[in-house]
């Protein structure tokens, strides 16, 4: 038998056994170590998944209709992920009082109205959730808004050049000017104005501090980490949207990257008022399957020098063996059904396991189909730059961590939230 024949047979076998993997996209890499914990970058060593069936209740009953999903399966998944992963919001969480601090009716060269918002937590003079909202000037009816939970607040908030244009060229992708040109509003939330984010620190300084009971120094093991707090902040902004006549509160999209990609997933799962989610490079603790030993793992997240504060204390119990959890992240993705969600990743972001996010989308698809929507077929693994799916979609850009393809992101938004003309 010729070498060419041997190679053909080998490749055919690989295509049959692994129909949804493109090895030319994510090649194996040498193993590594982060915080003294091994990191695997070899696909053959990820382990056996044995994912829980998203359409089977904890007591083993199949879920075959929307009623059972909405009344039984969805609530039990939500509660489990809430108490074991991100943490529940305590009843003592502060009330938020919204104030329009200032308004510029001629923002972005007269194309937008800009409002500076402050969501005071606990009292009118309490620490404030910092938001900048742009809506199209002259809009005759409420507009859909992309809410961006962002690290780079000064630029996206309009206090820097990114809020406008790149010199004399077109609006910078993802900027307020870009969204306004497409008929959308744009809101930027300073995530650290909700709760702080200092690696290896407790981060009980703002919202979570205000929620502490007398004598309590830290949230209980089943109470909110910072991801849940940041998601809570998004929901409080949703409260504001319902009072602003310039905003169509039923057509709100949210997006965030990295830890904020995890955050928008959890916000979308919790708050069904959110119409659409674009989660960018959330990785471990977001959409990437925890049972896959590839790239970052739960053990990396919760090691004391890194990010245990982002999650409920209970999350640490899964560090040694994620398979002991009754769920995996496909269940988190499924909680957003039937609303549209795009999982956006980067081919060079191996640490975040983009293929693990794809597999989570595939495993969540039955929940979308149960509710009359469409997801992703397992034999349609995305080529770089190709968005696959429907209401549940997946995209792998040609970049690394945090890479975005705003043309495709806006195409996804236009499909489900397109501004009325």
Catalytic residue among 148, 175, 401, 403: 401
Average pLDDT over every residue of 90-113? 98
Does residue 122 form part of some domain?
yes
pLDDT at 13: 29
Does residue 26 form part of some domain?
no
pLDDT > 80? residue 419: no
- Which of 103-112, 146-155, 250-259, 412-421 is predicted with the least confidence, judged by mean pLDDT? 146-155
Does residue 303 form part of some domain?
yes
Task: Record the pTM.
Answer: 0.91
Angle between helices 74-81 and 259-270 (to 10 degrees): 140
pLDDT 10s digits, 108-137: 999 999 999 999 999 999 999 999 999 999
pLDDT > 70? residue 260: yes
pLDDT 10s digits, 36-46: 999 999 999 99
Does residue 377 form part of some domain?
yes
CATH number reported for the structural domain that contains residue 119 in this entry? 3.40.50.1820
pLDDT at 421: 60
pLDDT at 42: 97
Does residue 13 form part of some domain?
no
Residue 235 annotated among the catalytic residues of the structure: no
Does residue 52 form part of some domain?
no
pLDDT at 149: 98
Residue 411's contacts (CB-CB under 8 Å, 6 or more residues apart) are 387
> Rounded to the nearest 5°, which phi and psi values hold at 189?
-110, 125
Phi-psi region of 310 (alpha: psi -120 to 50; beta: other; left: phi over 0): alpha
What residues make up the domain containing 351?
Answer: 66-417
Encoded tokens for 307: 């990010």
Q: In whole angstroms, what is the distance from residue 384 CA to residue 382 CA? A: 6
Say how many domains are in the chain.
1
Average pLDDT over every residue of 365-371? 99
Residue 300 annotated among the catalytic residues of the structure: no
Average pLDDT over every residue of 46-57? 96
Catalytic residue among 258, 382, 393, 403: 258
pLDDT 10s digits, 336-353: 999 999 999 999 999 999
Does residue 54 form part of some domain?
no
């Amino acid at each position: 038998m010729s070498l060419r024949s041997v190679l053909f047979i080998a490749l055919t076998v690989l295509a049959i056994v692994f129909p949804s993997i493109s090895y030319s996209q994510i090649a194996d890499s040498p193993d590594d170590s982060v915080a003294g914990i091994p990191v695997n970058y070899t696909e053959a060593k990820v382990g056996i998944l044995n994912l829980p069936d998203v359409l089977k209740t904890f007591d083993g009953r199949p879920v075959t209709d929307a009623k059972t999903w909405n009344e039984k399966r969805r609530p039990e998944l939500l509660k489990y992920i809430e108490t074991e992963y991100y943490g529940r919001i305590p009843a003592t969480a502060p009330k938020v009082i919204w104030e329009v601090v200032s308004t510029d009716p001629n923002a972005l060269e007269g194309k937008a109205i800009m409002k500076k918002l402050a969501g005071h937590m606990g009292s009118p003079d309490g620490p404030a959730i910092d938001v900048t909202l742009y809506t199209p000037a002259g809009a005759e009816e409420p507009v859909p808004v992309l809410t961006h939970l962002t690290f780079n607040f000064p630029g996206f908030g309009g206090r820097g050049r990114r809020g406008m244009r790149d010199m004399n060229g077109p609006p910078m992708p993802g900027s307020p000017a870009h969204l306004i040109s497409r008929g959308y509003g744009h809101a930027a939330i300073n995530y650290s104005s909700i709760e702080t984010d200092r690696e290896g620190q407790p981060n009980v300084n703002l919202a979570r501090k205000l929620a502490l009971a007398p004598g309590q120094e830290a949230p209980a093991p089943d109470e909110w980490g910072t991801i849940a707090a940041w998601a809570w902040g998004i929901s409080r902004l949703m409260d504001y949207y319902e009072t602003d006549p310039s905003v169509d509160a039923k057509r709100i999209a949210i997006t965030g990257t990295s830890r904020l990609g995890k955050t928008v997933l959890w916000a979308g799962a919790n708050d069904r008022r959110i119409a659409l989610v674009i989660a960018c490079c959330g990785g471990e603790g977001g959409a990437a399957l925890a049972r896959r030993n590839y790239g970052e793992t739960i053990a990396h997240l919760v090691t004391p020098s890194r990010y245990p504060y982002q999650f409920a204390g209970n999350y640490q119990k899964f560090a040694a063996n994620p398979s002991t959890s009754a769920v995996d992240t496909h269940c988190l993705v499924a909680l957003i059904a039937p609303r549209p969600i795009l999982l956006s990743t980067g081919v060079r972001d191996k640490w975040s396991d983009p293929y693990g996010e794809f597999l989570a989308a595939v495993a969540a698809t039955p929940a979308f189909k149960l509710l009359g929507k469409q997801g992703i077929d397992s034999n349609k693994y995305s080529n770089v730059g190709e968005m696959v799916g429907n209401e549940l979609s997946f995209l792998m850009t040609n970049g690394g961590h945090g890479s975005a393809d705003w043309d495709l992101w806006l195409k996804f938004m236009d499909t489900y939230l397109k501004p009325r003309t």
